[in-house]
Chains A and B, each alone.
Chain A
């Protein structure tokens, strides 16, 4: 009994303690002129979908729900955002060459087709970030059009 108490206290203290370890927040007020939405004529519904399902990890501005400010969730998220932005940052879209854009669009299509994006670990909590089959198809069709027009 005593040992359970000690473990509980240690866990609690740890949990509280790690809240004080800072994480880098991915937040920005301004949308640069190179943003995907600004340079492409994106239909409203697709804009919304991309914003909700992709922009948290693939742009300079993450919408943080409260639980993402809690450790260790925040660390987990920080890692994903870093990786996501390195792979593709929608805010910097127009700084890419046509070759790179084509490459990225091809990857976007493949990843949505294969259900790899948005990540399961993300949609597990962000239920609204999931793509229905119809939504996935709509986005894939539109992105394919964009790719072919480059």
Chain B
């Protein structure tokens, strides 16, 4: 009797485990998003980070504003990936942005600013995380709200960079984003309508 039990218990456990993992796999089995790994842009990461701004970035880092700068850098990289219709790259950059948002240190701001920043960061992290695991249409939906968060963050933290708030009236009833360049490169439409939009505000 005992040996039968022992013989049975192993396959039972094995099967039970198999059914658990099979189930979990089934959950995560989203249809693989078509990934375009072609490089549409020559240097997507470089566009917004030209030498002139590096100095400014370092200054802000020394003033203790480095984290806001890190967030902005990741935001612009992500924006450029979306401009380039690069779903795979945007996933990785969404994850990077979620990390830099998580590392944000608001301790040297006033209490009111801190609670506002905490709220902004919490919201933005969620959108960045979604971007790290979505197809490009979803990434763009989340980028819209993320952009609002980042614009609101900059209103508090300020930045030494020269920024352009741009606006596309066509996407989802009108949508804004930030860019370091004056010329419009639309992250919501990418190659479909690359230059749709206008500068609606200059920062610095």
A residues neighboring B (CB under 8 Å): 10-11, 13-14, 17-18, 21, 72, 75-76, 79-80, 97, 99-100, 103, 106, 110
Contacts and interface: CB of A to CB of B under 8 A. Distances in A.
Contacts of B24: 79
A75 B25 CA distance: 12
A75 B20 contact: yes
Contact of B119 (A17, A72, A80, A100): A100
A58 B122 CA distance: 19
Interface in B67-95: none
Interface SS of chain B: helix, strand, loop or mixed?
Answer: helix
6 tightest Cβ-Cβ pairs between the two chains A and B: A14-B15, A97-B119, A17-B12, A18-B16, A72-B19, A14-B12
Given A72-B20, A100-B123, A14 B11 contact: yes
A100 B11 contact: no
A103 B149 CA distance: 10
20 contacts: A10-B11, A13-B8, A14-B11, A14-B15, A17-B12, A17-B16, A72-B19, A72-B20, A75-B20, A76-B26, A79-B24, A79-B27, A80-B27, A97-B123, A99-B119, A99-B120, A99-B149, A100-B123, A103-B123, A103-B127
Given A14-B12, A97-B119, 14 more contacts: A10-B15, A13-B8, A13-B12, A14-B16, A14-B19, A17-B16, A18-B16, A76-B26, A79-B24, A79-B27, A99-B119, A99-B149, A100-B123, A110-B141
B67 to A, nearest CB: 19
Contact of B23 (A11, A72, A99): A72
A7 B119 CA distance: 56
B126 interface: yes
A74 to B, nearest CB: 10
A145 to B, nearest CB: 15
Contacts of A106: 145
Interface of B: 8, 11-12, 15-16, 19-20, 23-24, 26-27, 119-120, 122-123, 126-127, 141, 145, 149
A18 B19 contact: yes
Nearest to B130: A107
A136 to B, nearest CB: 18
B20 A103 contact: no
A104 to B, nearest CB: 9
Given A97-B119, A99-B120, A103-B145, A75 B12 contact: no
Nearest to A21: B16
A121 to B, nearest CB: 9
A75 B122 contact: no
Contacts of A75: 20, 23
A67 to B, nearest CB: 15
Given A18-B19, A75-B20, A79-B24, A103 B126 contact: yes
Contacts of B141: 110
